[in-house]
Chain A
Amino acid sequence: MGGLQKKKFERGSATNYITRNRARKKLQLSLPDFRRLCILKGIYPHEPKHKKKVNKGSTAPRTFYLLKDIRFLLHEPIVGKFREYKIFVRKLKKAYGKTEWSAVERLRENKPTYKLDHIIKERYPTFIDALRDIDDALCMCFLFSTFARTGKCHVQTIQLCKRLTVEWMNYVITSRSLRKVFLSIKGIYYQAEVMGQLITWVVPYQFSHDHPVDVDYRVMATFTELYTTLLGFVNFRLYNSLNLVYPPKKLSALSASLARVVSSAEEEEAQLDHFPTEGEDMEKMEAREKELKQQEAQKKLFEGLKFYLNREVPRESLAFIIRCFGGQVSWDKSVCIGSTYEMTDETITHHIIDRPSVDKQYINRYYIQPQWVYDCVNAKVLLPVEDYFLGVTLPPHLSPFVEEKEGDYVPPEKLKIMALQRGEKTGNEQEEEEEEEEEEEEEEEQEEEEEDDNGDEEDDEEEVAEEKNLKKMEEQRSQGKVIFKVTPGKLKVENKARLEQEEKAEEKRLAIMMMKKKEKYLYDKIMFGKKRKVREANKLAAKRKAHDDAEKAKKKKARK
Chain B
Amino acid sequence: MAAARRLKRVAVSQPGFLTLNPKVGPTDLVSSRRKRVNKNKKKNWNKYSDVQDVEEFLEDVRHQERTTGGLLSEKSDDSLFFLDVGQPKKVEEKEAAEPVKGKKRKGKSSRPLRIDLILQHDSRVAPPKDVLAYQKPNAKKLRRAAERAEKLAAKGVVPRSKKRLLNRPVVDRTSKKTETEANNNPERDFYDIWGQETKDLGEPWYLQQTRKKLVKRPEKLNEKPSVLPAVEVIAPGGSYNPDFFSHQELLREAHEVEVKKKKVEDKIERQLAYNKEDTATEETILREQVEGLVEESEEEEEKEDAPKEDGEEVAVGAIAVADKKTERQRKREKAEKMKEQQRLAERRQTEQQQQLFQLRSIKTSIKQQEEKTQVRQKRRKAKEEAQKAQPRRLGKLKFQPQDMEVQLSDELAGSLRQLKPEGSVLMDRFKSLQKRNLIEPRERAKFKRRLKVKYVEKRAFKEIS
Question: Given A72-B215, A115-B179: A186 and B405 within 8 A (CB)?
Answer: yes
Instruction: For A354, list chain B residues within 8 Å (CB).
Output: 415-417
B154 CB–A CB distance under 8 Å: no
User: What are 28 A-B residue pairs whose CB atoms fall within 8 Å in the complex?
Assistant: A61-B393, A77-B214, A115-B178, A124-B194, A130-B194, A139-B429, A156-B185, A184-B238, A185-B234, A186-B234, A189-B234, A200-B229, A200-B230, A202-B231, A216-B444, A223-B433, A225-B184, A232-B190, A235-B190, A236-B193, A237-B194, A313-B417, A371-B415, A396-B239, A396-B241, A397-B239, A401-B233, A544-B244
Which positions 118-169 of chain A face chain B at CB distance < 8 Å?
A: 118, 120-124, 126-127, 129-130, 133, 135-136, 139-140, 143, 154, 156-157, 159-160, 162-163
B60 CB–A CB distance under 8 Å: no
Instruction: For B433, list chain A residues within 8 Å (CB).
Output: 219, 223
A493 CB–B CB distance under 8 Å: no
B354 CB–A CB distance under 8 Å: no
Q: Is B239 a contact partner of A399 (Cβ separation < 8 A)?
A: yes
Of B83-91, B280-288, B419-427, which stretch is located at the interface?
A: B419-427
Which positions 235-268 of chain B face chain A at CB distance < 8 Å?
A: 235-236, 238-246
Question: Given A39-B439, A127-B194, A225-B183: A202 and B428 within 8 A (CB)?
Answer: yes
Interface 1/0 per residue, B203-226 and A, CB below 8 Å: 000000001001101100110010
- Could you say which of B179, B192, B211, B426 contacts A211, with CB atoms under 8 Å apart? B426
- Could you say which of B180, B394, B428 contacts A45, with CB atoms under 8 Å apart? B394
Residues of B within 8 A of A (CB): 178-186, 188-195, 211, 214-215, 217-218, 221-222, 225, 229-231, 233-236, 238-246, 392-396, 405-407, 414-417, 419, 421-430, 433, 437-440, 442, 444
* Minimal beta-carbon separation of A468 from chain B (angstroms): 16
Q: Is B184 a contact partner of A157 (Cβ separation < 8 A)?
A: yes
Instruction: For A216, list chain B residues within 8 Å (CB).
Output: 430, 442, 444
Question: Given A123-B217, A143-B425, A204-B421: A229 and B183 within 8 A (CB)?
Answer: yes
Instruction: For A124, list chain B residues within 8 Å (CB).
Output: 194
Instruction: For B211, list chain A residues within 8 Å (CB).
Output: 75, 77
A29 CB–B CB distance under 8 Å: no
Instruction: For B190, list chain A residues within 8 Å (CB).
Output: 232-233, 235-236, 246-247
Query: CA–CA, A62 to B29, complex, Å?
Result: 107
Q: Is A398 a contact partner of B239 (Cβ separation < 8 A)?
A: yes
> Which of B192, B231, B405 has the largest count of A CB atoms less than 10 A from its CB?
B231
Interface 1/0 per residue, A401-435 and B, CB below 8 Å: 11000000101010000000000000000000000
Question: Given A122-B217, A185-B407, A185-B421: A136 and B230 within 8 A (CB)?
Answer: yes
Query: A212: nearest residue on chain B (CB-CB)?
Result: B427
- Could you say which of B188, B215, B243, B415 contacts A232, with CB atoms under 8 Å apart? B188
- Could you say which of A63, A123, A312 contacts B222, with CB atoms under 8 Å apart? A123
Q: Is A186 a contact partner of B423 (Cβ separation < 8 A)?
A: yes
Instruction: For A208, list chain B residues within 8 Å (CB).
Output: 421, 424
Instruction: For A547, list chain B residues within 8 Å (CB).
Output: 244
Instruction: For B240, list chain A residues within 8 Å (CB).
Output: 183-185, 397
Q: Is B230 a contact partner of A182 (Cβ separation < 8 A)?
A: no
- Could you say which of A77, A110, A183, A225 contacts B239, with CB atoms under 8 Å apart? A183
Q: What is the predominant secondary structure among interface residues of chain B facing chain A?
A: loop
Query: A207: nearest residue on chain B (CB-CB)?
Result: B421
Question: Given A42-B221, A209-B424, A212-B426: A47 and B186 within 8 A (CB)?
Answer: no
Extra inter-chain contacts (6) besides given A182-B233, A247-B190, CB under 8 Å: A61-B393, A62-B395, A116-B183, A185-B419, A399-B238, A401-B233
Q: Is A399 a contact partner of B233 (Cβ separation < 8 A)?
A: yes
Q: Is A113 a contact partner of B183 (Cβ separation < 8 A)?
A: yes
Q: Is B186 a contact partner of A140 (Cβ separation < 8 A)?
A: no
Query: CA–CA, A409 to B433, complex, Å?
Result: 33
Query: B186: nearest residue on chain A (CB-CB)?
Result: A159
Q: Is A236 a contact partner of B191 (Cβ separation < 8 A)?
A: yes
Question: Given A113-B180, A229-B183, A240-B192: A398 and B243 within 8 A (CB)?
Answer: yes
Instruction: For B194, list chain A residues within 8 Å (CB).
Output: 121, 124, 126-127, 130, 233, 237
- Could you say which of B192, B221, B233 contacts A69, with CB atoms under 8 Å apart? B221
Query: CA–CA, A68 to B221, complex, Å?
Result: 10
Which positions 196-210 of chain A face chain B at CB distance < 8 Å?
A: 200-205, 208-210
A220 CB–B CB distance under 8 Å: yes
Query: CA–CA, A544 to B423, complex, Å?
Result: 29
Q: Is A140 a contact partner of B429 (Cβ separation < 8 A)?
A: yes
Q: Is B419 a contact partner of A205 (Cβ separation < 8 A)?
A: yes
Query: CA–CA, A77 to B229, complex, Å?
Result: 31
Interface residues on A, range: 35 or more
Instruction: For B423, list chain A residues within 8 Å (CB).
Output: 185-186
Query: CA–CA, A162 to B424, complex, Å?
Result: 19
Query: CA–CA, A229 to B189, complex, Å?
Result: 10
Q: Is A122 a contact partner of B214 (Cβ separation < 8 A)?
A: yes
Q: Is B439 a contact partner of A544 (Cβ separation < 8 A)?
A: no
Query: CA–CA, A133 to B436, complex, Å?
Result: 13
Instruction: For B238, list chain A residues within 8 Å (CB).
Output: 184-186, 399
- Could you say which of B393, B407, B414 contacts A47, with CB atoms under 8 Å apart? B393
Query: CA–CA, A47 to B226, complex, Å?
Result: 12
Which positions 20-37 of chain A face chain B at CB distance < 8 Å?
A: 35
* Minimal beta-carbon separation of B349 from chain A (angstroms): 32
Query: CA–CA, A338 to B335, complex, Å?
Result: 111
Query: B189: nearest residue on chain A (CB-CB)?
Result: A247
A214 CB–B CB distance under 8 Å: yes
Query: B241: nearest residue on chain A (CB-CB)?
Result: A397
Query: B244: nearest residue on chain A (CB-CB)?
Result: A547
A543 CB–B CB distance under 8 Å: yes
Query: B398: nearest residue on chain A (CB-CB)?
Result: A61
Query: CA–CA, A121 to B421, complex, Å?
Result: 38
Query: A68: nearest residue on chain B (CB-CB)?
Result: B218
Query: CA–CA, A413 to B239, complex, Å?
Result: 14
Question: Given A122-B217, A139-B230, A183-B416: A160 and B242 within 8 A (CB)?
Answer: no
Instruction: For A118, list chain B residues within 8 Å (CB).
Output: 214
Q: Is B214 a contact partner of A355 (Cβ separation < 8 A)?
A: no
Instruction: For A229, list chain B residues within 8 Å (CB).
Output: 183
* Minimal beta-carbon separation of B289 from chain A (angstroms): 45
- Could you say which of B192, B214, B229 contacts A135, with CB atoms under 8 Å apart? B229
A370 CB–B CB distance under 8 Å: yes
Interface 1/0 per residue, A101-118 and B, CB below 8 Å: 000000000110111111
Q: Is B417 a contact partner of A355 (Cβ separation < 8 A)?
A: yes
Interface 1/0 per residue, A271-288 and B, CB below 8 Å: 000000000000000000
A44 CB–B CB distance under 8 Å: yes
Q: Is A205 a contact partner of B241 (Cβ separation < 8 A)?
A: no
Nearest 4 CB-CB pairs, A to B? A399-B236, A159-B186, A135-B230, A47-B392
Query: CA–CA, A393 to B428, complex, Å?
Result: 31
Instruction: For B424, list chain A residues within 8 Å (CB).
Output: 186, 204, 208-212
Instruction: For A219, list chain B residues within 8 Å (CB).
Output: 430, 433, 439
A385 CB–B CB distance under 8 Å: no
Instruction: For B242, list chain A residues within 8 Å (CB).
Output: 396-397
Q: Is A204 a contact partner of B407 (Cβ separation < 8 A)?
A: no
Instruction: For B189, list chain A residues within 8 Å (CB).
Output: 247
* Minimal beta-carbon separation of B329 from chain A (angstroms): 39
Instruction: For A46, list chain B residues within 8 Å (CB).
Output: 225, 394
Instruction: For B186, list chain A residues within 8 Å (CB).
Output: 156, 159-160, 162-163
* Minimal beta-carbon separation of A38 from chain B (angstroms): 8
Query: CA–CA, A533 to B170, complex, Å?
Result: 74
Q: Is B233 a contact partner of A47 (Cβ separation < 8 A)?
A: no
